[in-house]
Every structure is written in C-alpha cells, then in structure tokens.
Amino acid sequence: MNDDSHSTLTQMIEGPVPTAERMYAFDRMRDLCRTAPRGIRRARISLTDQPDSTSGFPASADGTLMLYGGLILSAGVVAATMHEAVDVLMARFRHRLHRLEETGRGQPIGSFPANAT
C-alpha cells in the first residue's frame, strides 16, 4: 500500500461534467495511487463530456501515471456514461500496473522511459 501524500493528482475537465462525476473520478484515481503495487509520482485524469455526440459514446476519460523510477503509463476510454468511462479507465490502469509487477520488468513493452531523449 502506498502513501498517496507524495502523489500529485491533476484533473482536467471539458464539457458539462457534473460535480459528482468529477469527484468520483478524483476519488477513484486517489484510490488507485494508494493501492498501486508501485509508487505513483504524478497522476492526471482528463474527463470530456460531449452530450451531442452522434457516436453513442459521449463520455471519455484518459489519464497518465508517472511512476517513481521514470516509467509512464497512459490509457484512454470512451463510454456511454462518465461513471462507466472512469471505471474502465481505472481497471485498465490496475491491469497494467499489476502486469508490470508480475513480469518483473523495469519497463512495459512499447513504452519509453520518462527521461528518454
């Protein structure tokens, strides 16, 4: 279990995202930082709501995690509701974090270290 007091959490909002959904997303990201198998230095989540979307998926959530040691994980999802988008995003991050720990690799496949030049 991690101490999230050392993590910087940032939230960006686009469109008419209700306050309850903003708080839900922020709380889920904070929970992820606390329970991650590796320390998270910075976490960012961006929520976008486009109610007039013709795609049938008006809500999107994407995020970035910067882990201690310089690794960066990112994910994004679209969904019918903001609540669903946040839940799926957190599930993707949890899966990637646990897979990273299971493989014992210092860096996920297809990712570059944060300090790559």
Average of per-residue pLDDT across 73-85: 92
Average of per-residue pLDDT across 69-78: 90
* pLDDT number for residue 115: 46
Question: For the chain, what are the domain ranges?
Answer: 4-103
Residue 54 DSSP class? S
List C-alpha distances in Å: 34 to 30, 40, 73, 80: 6, 9, 16, 28
Strand residues in the chain grouped as ranges (E):
8-14, 40-49, 59-67, 72-79
CA–CA separation, 45 vs 76, rounded Å? 9
Given a cut of 90, whether residue 69 has pLDDT beyond it is no
CATH 3.40.50.2300 fits 4-103, yes or no: no
Please give the model's pTM, rounded to 2 decimal places. 0.78
Q: Taking a C-beta distance cutoff of 8 angstroms, is the pair 44, 12 a contact?
A: yes
Percent of the chain with pLDDT over 90: 42
Question: How confident is residue 45, by pLDDT bands cut at 50, 70 and 90?
Answer: very high
Given a cut of 50, whether residue 116 has pLDDT beyond it is no
Given a cut of 50, whether residue 7 has pLDDT beyond it is yes
